[in-house]
Structure 1
Amino acid sequence: MAVPKKRRRARLPFAGVAGWIGGAVYVVYALIMNVVDAVFGPLQRRFGFRNMAYFFLLPNLAIFAIFVMFPMALNIYYSGTGGTALFPQDRTWVGLDNYHQIFSCGNYLDPNTCREDFFWRAASNTVVFVVFQVGGMVLLALLTAVVLNREIVARGFFRSVYFYPVLLSPVVVGLIWKWILQRFGLINGVLGHLGYDPVLFLIETPWPTFWVILVSIWAQMGFYTLILLAGLQSIPPVLYEAGQIDGASRWQSFRSITLPLLMPTLFVVLVLSLIRAVQVFDQVYVLTGGGPGTSTKYMVQYIYETGFAAQIPRRGMASAASVLLGGVLLIATLIQLWLERKTQVD
């Protein structure tokens, strides 16, 4: 009886190469781990396992201190100096003179009575922008999130469509809408084809302010809609079922179930949108340049032009304005956090 021959296994053509690459990767990995163990092993034996977290935090804390804390401290120092010199050691210490000049006003509601009238014009424009932009965007984002949370046709498509503008940079958003709204832009081209006179959307007031707010809402609403949508999906459906059993209408369910449970997420959206709205600059600068006149010039643009773009830069004044802006943001954020805690306790 013939003994069957053993069948040889077919060798893959790249098996040897794959094994060599795997071995090389393992050698590199082992070498790196040995170096790490040589560095952190004695530290762990000296300070203990629990305290090793601080050594891993040190690089992040160092980067935070160098690129955040040090510039903040330097900015506060600059706010108390004057002159046109760039380096701190060459600047003249003037104390609170920059702040005194900012607050030298006959009537704070009338920028023409202020020594630093452009500051107060930018401040008033920023307040108007924040109120309408944040209020309108949060309301539209909430309505959009409620609609997208329901079972509708092509829900995934609409979610991606609303989020798409967030992926564009503010400069690109400004250029796109400037092409649409300018004198010979898309909208005026359509109006001219229909026999209407062109509308100077970026020149005639109050159109520039309206379009700046609308474009900002369009560009950022998708991000906050996504946050609110996540908050809506975290609400247990059994609560709505219980409301339906009790005979609650959609509005009653929204007012008594959705809003109270969504309030923490709404506070997060308010804080983030407020900080971003106060710091608006690049998108508006590309779209209107702050015009016509100073109607769309906001605080960050004032700081930029005062400290960098002016023929005679006033870095001390720009630093003082930025310190005041940061203080207002801090106070507004603390108030919102306090209201959030009070609401949760109630």
Structure 2
Amino acid sequence: MSALLSSPATKAPGQAGSPLARQRRRLFWPFVGPALVLYTALFVVPVGATIWISLNKWPGAGPMEFRGLGNYTRLLTDDLFLTSFGNTLLLLFVVGGAIFVLAFAMSLFLRDMAGKSFARSVIFIPHLINALVFGVLAGFIFNPDGLLNSLLGFIGVEAPLAWLARENLFPLIMITMLWMTVGYYTTILMSGVDRIPPYFFEDAALAGANAFQRLRHVILPLTWDVFAVCAVLWTISAVKIFEIVWIFGGGTTVGSPPHETWTAAVYTYATAFGGESIPSFGAAAAAAVLSLLLVSVLVVLLRRVTRREAIEF
């Protein structure tokens, strides 16, 4: 009995000091180390360098001149940056809201439709097309002698409408972004709706639930996690919108798209490479840091707002 009392207690598997815990520590760096090195090299170092550049005045070559927060105060008083940032927020919230309403409605409409797989493939195709191709297609449609004015002329509208007038460009960009991306998010939401077992709908029908009640109490709770993922994906994508703005604005040289169509990404590019002024990599880096901060804050807020108890089925 005394020998048993004096012997050391056996460590439970996984407890600190146990053989399993020691094995986990030995295997940590061989498995996690390479990924951690790549993450540091491809993300942490570039982000750190961008933050440092944003604190300096630098034309892209030669010595840097430390300015502290001077680039940030310059941006916050720059009307063009505020316009670009505001356009990014419009795309993020207005186009994003329209995307999710249409995508969710289409996913419900196609749920019991014959030939659903074919329809899913068709609506996903726009996401596979490069934004440059969309720009060419949009030009073919919206030009004064393009497809849309030809169709309007066929029904009696004589004078061609100036769809590509300067004041119409940004609304057309918003419409084109909706056209480009709604099929992608419809496909994702369809996968969420399709995974709901049929007996949930049968039980709701037996309980006397109408269509709205089934939507509120069955479909939305069981697809909430899919909505959360889509919201994060769209937030990241919206802040990076560049190509379609460049094409719609007739971008052939740096800074050529009309200012009222600029987004944060266009502003960053034009500022870095000096389309209309001396290149300023410091101010461009500051704009990139603010965009990264916007994405980070919105993703954290989205995760908190959409966080709820997972429903398993």
TM-score (norm 2): 0.84
Q: For the residues of structure 2 that align with 1:133 and 1:85, how far apart are their CA atoms?
A: 35
Which residue does the alignment assign to 2:57? 82
Q: For the residues of structure 1 that align with 2:216 and 2:146, how far apart are their CA atoms?
A: 43
1:299 aligns with 2:264: yes
Which residue does the alignment assign to 1:214? 175
Q: Which amino acid aligns with 2:99?
A: M
1:66 aligns with 2:41: yes
Q: By how many angstroms is 1:165 displaced?
A: 0.6
Q: Which amino acid aligns with 2:301?
A: I
Q: Percent identity?
A: 28
Do 2:111 and 2:190's aligned partners in 1 also have CA atoms closer than 8 Å? yes
Q: Which amino acid aligns with 1:335?
A: L
Q: Which amino acid aligns with 1:327?
A: L
Q: By how many angstroms is 1:258 displaced?
A: 0.6
Do 2:53 and 2:285's aligned partners in 1 also have CA atoms closer than 8 Å? yes
Q: Which amino acid aligns with 1:233?
A: D
Q: Give unmatched runs, 5+ long, in structure 2.
A: 1-21
1:142 aligns with 2:104: yes
Aligned length: 284
Alignment of 1:1-346 (within 5 A): 51-52=26-27, 54-86=29-61, 90-103=63-76, 114=77, 116-150=78-112, 152-193=113-154, 194-205=156-167, 207-289=168-250, 293-310=258-275, 311-341=277-307, 343-344=308-309
Q: By how many angstroms is 1:299 displaced?
A: 0.5
Q: For the residues of structure 2 that align with 1:50 and 1:84, how far apart are their CA atoms?
A: 47
Q: By how many angstroms is 1:189 displaced?
A: 3.1
Q: Which amino acid aligns with 1:330?
A: S
Q: By how many angstroms is 1:155 displaced?
A: 2.0
Q: For the residues of structure 1 that align with 2:198 and 2:310, how far apart are their CA atoms?
A: 24
Q: Which amino acid aligns with 2:141?
A: I
Q: For the residues of structure 2 that align with 1:83 and 1:48, how far apart are their CA atoms?
A: 49
Q: For the residues of structure 2 that align with 1:345 and 1:233, how far apart are their CA atoms?
A: 17
Q: Give unmatched runs, 5+ long, in structure 1.
A: 1-46, 104-113
Q: Which amino acid aligns with 2:234?
A: S
Q: Which amino acid aligns with 1:81?
A: N
Q: By how many angstroms is 1:62 displaced?
A: 2.6
Q: Which amino acid aligns with 1:95?
A: G
The structure showing larger relative contact order (alpha-carbon pairs under 8 Å, at least 6 residues apart) is 2
Q: By how many angstroms is 1:304 displaced?
A: 0.4
Which residue does the alignment assign to 1:9? none
The secondary structure found in structure 2 opposite 1:165 is helix
| Counterparts in 2 of 1:195 and 1:135: CA distance versus 1, 3 Å | closer
Q: For the residues of structure 2 that align with 1:165 and 1:309, how far apart are their CA atoms?
A: 33
Output one character per residue of 1:8-32: Cα deviation in whole Å (capped at 9) or x when no partner.
xxxxxxxxxxxxxxxxxxxxxxxxx
Do 2:60 and 2:280's aligned partners in 1 also have CA atoms closer than 8 Å? no
Larger-Rg structure: 1
Q: For the residues of structure 2 that align with 1:49 and 1:66, how far apart are their CA atoms?
A: 25
Q: Which amino acid aligns with 1:298?
A: T
